[in-house]
Structure 1
Amino acid sequence: MSVQTPVPESSGGASPVPAIVISGFLGSGKTTLLLAVLHHMRRLGRKVAVLMNEFGDISIDGEILRGEGFSVMELSDGCICCQIGEDFVQAFTEVATRQPEVIFVEATGLADPVDLLDQATAPHLLDRVTITRLVTVADPKNFTRLSKVLKAIVKRQTQFADVIVIGKADEATPEQIADIRRYVEENNPYAQVYLATHGIVAGDESFQWLLAEVEPAERERRRAAMREQLAALNEQEYKAHTDFHSMSCRLLRPLVRERFEEFMRQLPPDIVRAKGFVRFEGEDGLWVMMYVNGDLYIRPVTLSPSPEEHLVFIGARLDHAQLASALVACEGRRRALAVL
């Protein structure tokens, strides 16, 4: 990504813009939370900015936000905490010069919060932006398994969070929620834990748990705790960016729903996340597809502008030729598929 707008040398004495970083593993519900708070801010007439990072080279979540009428600056095909760090700092600087009331940053599900904090606290950003909260969204249905299979990723995203949001609480069992609470207590007892359904924390639709100002002393206490954790952390544990890859496909024809759903349900376990927009043969309208660790969700969606039909797959191992061939078999009578 290239940001063209010239950036002045100083902020001219303006107060740093508060920024809230939303992280969490792939498919945990980060965009759902972000959409909920953005709608709330719109109702209040608040001026906000959004930075969104997609691991794949095609945006899905950004298209959803734009289709809901929100302005988004995106950084794609990499992770803001390392591969596209310089672009992230440049984009962060640009949105800060617009002086929004708050900046929301949605990190890719593979983001390392340690490197992300390092990028967000670059020297020339310090007088422009201040990170007020690091929020990690946890998927209760998959958290326990992921904390064992992808130990380093989950641990780091938990350890450095100010707030842990247990998303999809309406789909969770009491045991699943209790497992997350125990894990947080063991790895980050300073974090506040909230349950959310569709991005809304029960009893607090004003998002004060997220938007309220953090006292400087409290913020420094949290940062001191993070520094202690970082000092004891084995940097060699974290390898998410070499372990995961993405594949993007543009669909040029509608799919046969039954074939597509069967294909998605038979994805190998190495593919942990898939998402995209599809059209089905014989059905009107656009559909958004979300796949998380074996769970498939397909629902109709109306967005303006309407995005192109495309899919993104993320996993430890991706057989591009096999996936492309299987998708072609899902198309209707006229077949065409562009693998990007």
Structure 2
Amino acid sequence: MKASDETYVTPIYILSGFLGSGKTTLLAKLIDYWQEAGLKPAVIMNELGDVNLDGLLVKQEVPMEEMLGGCICCSIRGDLGVTIHELIQKEHPDLIVVEATGAANPMELLDGVTETALYMKLDIRPLITVVDSAYLMELFDRQQGKTYRLMQEQIRCASVLILNKTDLLDSSRMQELLKLLNQSNPYAKKIPAVKCEVDLAELLVEGEGAQGATDEAGDQNLSQTHSHYGQSDSHNHNYTHNHSHSSHSHDHSHEHSHDHGQDPHGHDHHHTHSHVMVHTHYLSGPVDSKAFEQLIAELPRDVYRAKGVLTFSDTSSRFLFQYAYREPDFMKITPQGDIPDVVVFIGEHFDKEELSEKLKALEAGTLLAE
């Protein structure tokens, strides 16, 4: 039964997880899985900034709607229902995946999808959260910060937890992670992973009950994960794209500081991503690769995520750039359409003016690599 049938109920998956946890990597694997099964998936991708760079990793034949410039659970939440409706009417997908910005509170996002389901035939599937295992434990050691509290919310709301980057934890730290997760959410299915390599059939099965409910069970899952799914991703995601992106000729900065007060029931609606800052910078032309790498290496720790599309003056290819927790990554891409060179930085209370000046020096060629 296709989504074009009036009686068809469209499954909708919500993909949550903090910035850099691996959500888009998992999304690419899920798209391959569904397409191999003969299904037509569609994607709604949300970004805090003005440009959807993660969307470049989605195959061009996959219908995708972009919700940019705000968090679905906040400033553009009212547009979510319209976006879902238009996507179904235009593309007739077999299923939809909503990948929220890593700064989103998934409970409020779930509320937004639920509101849409009141007047559309949607089958809301269990919420999936990708956990950056190593970074979560780093924050757990400090026991403070809004980022840690947001990650806890994303964990508590999930029906399935992908414990990603477990290769960065030793066995004792893995036991601490499992204990923490079982305290926060003892009911979620817990699947350890490296580079989001998981059994997707197991991931998508509903009603199996909690996995890894004890430290021993979780440790057994970990050993199975390393033996079966610990290899590097063998899929080729170096696609060409023709998703439409609007271009701008100036620099944008956004700071989210919304406070929705309390509702009559006493629930606190102060958004946990009020500390998150987004700085978008459109480059005027090619830049030196070594100088750019130096700029990235010197980023303050308060910048925990960055991404961009770049042209280097000393190479012939364009690159998709990604950065998460001090680790940069570059991938050659051949984007189609009018996609400008742009870099986006996400973090907490970093000095945007200082960063902007360094980027201008990079463009002018005065930021020289050592």
Match of 1:20 in 2: 13
Secondary structure (helix, strand or coil) at the match of 1:142 reads: helix
- Deviation of 1:239 after TM superposition, in Å, equals 3.2
TM-score, normalization: structure 2?
Answer: 0.74
Between 1:101-110 and 1:322-331, the stretch displaced more is: 322-331
Tell me what 1:89 maps to: 81
Displacement, 1:289? 1.6
Match of 1:325 in 2: 357
Give 1:260's match in structure 2, choosing from 292, 313, 325: 292
For the residues of structure 2 that align with 1:12 and 1:43, how far apart are their CA atoms? 22
Deviation at 1:42, TM superposition (A): 2.1
- Amino acid paired to 1:86: G
- Asked whether the equivalents of residues 311 and 317 of structure 2 are also in contact (C-alpha less than 8 Å), the reply is yes
Q: Which has the higher contact order (CA 8 A, sep 6+)?
A: 1
Q: Does the C-alpha gap of structure 1 residues 123 and 277 become closer, same or farther in structure 2, counting only changes over 3 Å?
A: closer
The secondary structure found in structure 2 opposite 1:240 is: coil
Q: Is the 8 A contact 2:279 2:344 kept in 1?
A: yes
Among 136, 151, 158, the alignment partner of 2:129 is 136
Q: How many angstroms apart in 2 are the aligned matches of 1:234 and 1:157?
A: 21
SS across alignment from 2:70: coil
Measured in 1, the distance between the counterparts of 2:330 and 2:83 equals 32
Contact preservation (8 Å) 1:93, 1:128? no
Matches of 2:307 and 2:338 in 1, distance apart? 16
- 3-state SS in 2 of match to 1:242: coil
| Residue among 152, 156, 173 paired with 1:155 | 152
Q: CA deviation at 1:182?
A: 1.7
Structure 2 CA distance for aligned equivalents of residues 32 and 329 of structure 1: 33
User: Which residue does 1:7 correspond to in 2?
Assistant: none
Q: Partners in 1 of 2:116 and 2:307 — Cα distance?
A: 36
CA distance in 2, matches of 1:299, 1:27: 16
Kindly provide the amino acid, as one letter, of the partner of residue 291 in structure 1.
Answer: Y
Cα separation, 1, equivalents of 2:116 and 2:340: 39
4+ residue segments displaced more than 6 Å: none
Residue-pair matches, total = 305
Q: 1:298 to 1:172 in 2, by over 3 A?
A: farther
Q: List runs of 5+ in structure 2 lacking aligned partners.
A: 211-264
* Partners of 1:56 and 1:76 within 8 A in 2: yes
Query: For 1:241, what is the secondary structure of its paired residue?
Result: coil
Amino acid paired to 1:199: C
- Structure 2 counterpart of 1:116, from 99, 109, 114: 109
Q: Is the 8 A contact 2:305 2:347 kept in 1?
A: yes
| Counterpart among 48, 53, 56 of residue 46 in structure 2 | 53
How far has the Cα of 1:141 moved from its partner?
Answer: 2.3
**Further displaced range: 77-86 or 38-47:** 38-47
Matched residue, 2:23: 30
Q: CA RMSD in A?
A: 2.8
Structure 1 residue 96 displacement after superposition = 3.4
8 A Cα contact 2:292 2:362, kept in partner = yes
Kindly state the Cα deviation for residue 136 of structure 1 after the two structures are TM-superposed.
0.5
Q: Distance in 2 between matches of 1:73 and 1:176?
A: 39
Q: 1:84 to 1:326 in 2, by over 3 A?
A: same
Cα contact 1:16–1:126 (8 A) shared by 2: no
Would the aligned equivalents of 1:140 and 1:176 in 2 still touch at CA under 8 Å? no
Deviates more, 1:273-282 or 1:47-56: 273-282
In structure 1, the residue matched to 2:252 is none
Give yes or no for contact 1:289–1:296 (8 Å, CA) kept in 2. yes
Q: Report which stretch shifted further, 295-304 or 115-124.
A: 295-304
Secondary structure in 1 aligned to 2:86? helix
Kindly indicate whether residue 170 of structure 2 is the aligned counterpart of residue 177 of structure 1: no
* Matching residue of 2:195: 198
Checking the alignment, whether the CA contact within 8 Å between 2:43 and 2:63 is kept in structure 1 is: yes
Distance 1:301 1:172 in 2: 32
Residues 305, 166 of structure 1: CA spacing in aligned structure 2 closer, same or farther, 3 A cutoff?
Answer: farther
Q: 1:248 aligns with which of 262, 280, 289?
A: 280
1:166-188, Cα deviation, whole Å (9 max, x unpaired): 22344444344333322210010
For 1:193 and 1:141, the matched residues in 2 are separated by: 16
Q: Amino acid of the residue matched to residue 155 of structure 1? A: Q
C-alpha contact (below 8 Å) 2:308/2:321 kept by paired residues: yes
Q: Give the gaps of 5 or more residues in structure 1.
A: 1-10, 220-232, 336-340
